[in-house]
């Protein structure tokens, strides 16, 4: 009889603890139901700038300037080896090269054409004509092709500390 009472008590405890646990996890599942998957630091989807606003901000930056911003865009391309960088559309045939802070996270390799929100630092890098010509020579370009390089190349760069990828 003592054994039956102990067994009944154990079964009842397990039953109620499972039931209580289920009640606690159901709201968490509902609150976590979101349209984004998060990578890197946790960021909010509230109030991101548009890609056209960010393009204007990039165009006003000088080499050495940085700007802390959050914006939304569409992924044009993702690194197909690790997902360690992506290029985001800024409109007007411009894009931003996005890398991830401290190489600390990656995005899925199949993220092309998906919408994202990124948070981090925007900056402009400049590659001089001399360096571009040097790279072209190293790449085996002809003297005519090298001579056609007459302007520096500006890259709209971004170091993301957090990314929200739309499902």
101 secondary structure, DSSP code: G
Residue 25: predicted pLDDT: 25
Res. 90: pLDDT tops 70:
yes
Reading the block at residue 167, the tokens are: 């499902």
pLDDT 10s digits, 52-84: 999 999 999 998 999 999 999 999 999 999 999
Other Cβ atoms closer than 10 A to 83: 17
Return the higher-pLDDT residue of 11 and 147: 147
pLDDT (0 to 100) of residue 42: 97
Of residues 71, 37, 75, the one with CA closest to residue 56: 71
User: Which pLDDT band, with edges at 50, 70 and 90, does 34 fall under?
Assistant: low
Between CA 133 and CA 71 the distance in angstroms is 34
Closest to 41 (Cα-Cα) out of 132, 93, 119: 119
Would the pLDDT of 24 be above 50? no
pLDDT at residue 143 above 90? Answer: yes
What is the average pLDDT across 15-30?
33
Residue 104 near residue 84, CB atoms below 8 Å? no
More confident site: 2 or 44:
44
């Amino acid at each position: 009889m003592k054994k039956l009472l102990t067994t009944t008590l154990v079964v009842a405890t397990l039953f109620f603890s499972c039931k209580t646990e289920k009640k606690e996890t159901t709201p968490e599942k509902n609150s976590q139901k979101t349209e984004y998957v998060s990578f890197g630091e946790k960021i909010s989807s509230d109030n991101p700038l548009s890609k056209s606003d960010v393009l204007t901000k990039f165009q006003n930056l000088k080499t050495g300037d940085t700007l802390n911003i959050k914006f939304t865009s569409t992924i044009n391309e993702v690194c197909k080896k690790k997902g360690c960088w992506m290029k985001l559309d800024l409109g007007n045939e411009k894009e931003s090269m996005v890398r991830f802070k401290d190489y600390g996270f990656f995005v899925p390799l199949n993220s092309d054409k998906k919408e994202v929100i990124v948070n981090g630092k925007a900056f402009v890098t400049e590659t001089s004509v001399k360096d571009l010509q040097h790279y072209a020579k190293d790449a085996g370009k002809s003297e005519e092709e090298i001579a056609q390089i007459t302007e520096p190349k500006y890259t709209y760069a971004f170091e993301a500390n957090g990314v929200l990828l739309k499902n």
